Amino acid sequence: MFFSSIYAKQQSVALPAAIEKVLDYLKAHDFTKMEPGRYEIQGDDIFAQVFDAATKPAEEQRPEAHEKYADVQFLASGRERLGFTPDTGSYEVDERFDDRDLIFYKKVENECFIEARPGCYSVFFPEDIHRPACASGQPMTVRKVVVKISVKLL
């Protein structure tokens, strides 16, 4: 997992080409003016989902993970907290949706939180359990972009 902003002056490390492609895409679009929906970047290997989400207290959001895709979670507007912790393989699954590559967990331990503002992005790999759309202060509606990157590209 890593966290940064599209407004950072430069990157000091080389990233996989698929992540570089996603960051270029995020920098090139004003998502506050786009319609919610799915936007293909590279077919089913890389695609963006633009949507509005209501943030809630962390205890009302479920921790989740994915096996086939890495998530690049980008905040276009609003404020959001995101929880994260390593997947130790010992957490109890609450629900699993294989067709959506989505696993929800009942609870996790040793969770840390980051605060996102517009322009911030987080990259969550399959070994990262994350809890998105947590309220930072008062709950609000945020505009998010989640870009899915097939792990075969990483």
89-124 tens-digit pLDDT: 999 999 999 999 999 999 999 999 999 999 999 999
Residue 12 lies in a domain: no
Residue 86 and residue 128 in contact, taking contact as beta carbons nearer than 8 Å: yes
Domain range for 144: 2-7+20-153
Q: Determine phi and psi for 114, rounding to 5 degrees.
A: -120, 155
pLDDT of residue 62: 97
Residue appearing with tokens 């503002």: 117
Q: What is the CATH number of the domain that holds 71?
A: 2.60.120.370
Residue 103 and residue 66 in contact, taking contact as beta carbons nearer than 8 Å: yes
33: left (phi over 0), alpha (psi -120 to 50) or beta: alpha
Query: What is the average per-residue pLDDT within 127-151?
Result: 97
Residue 15 lies in a domain: no
pLDDT of residue 98: 96
Residue 145 lies in a domain: yes
Residue 106 lies in a domain: yes
Residue 116 and residue 77 in contact, taking contact as beta carbons nearer than 8 Å: no
Residue 52 lies in a domain: yes
The whole-angstrom separation of Cα 34 and Cα 12 is 31
Tens of pLDDT, residues 58-94: 999 999 999 999 999 999 999 999 999 999 999 999 9
Tell me the three state secondary structure of residue 111.
Answer: coil
The whole-angstrom separation of Cα 4 and Cα 51 is 21
Q: Count of domains in the chain? A: 1
pLDDT of residue 9: 84
Query: What is the average per-residue pLDDT within 25-32?
Result: 97
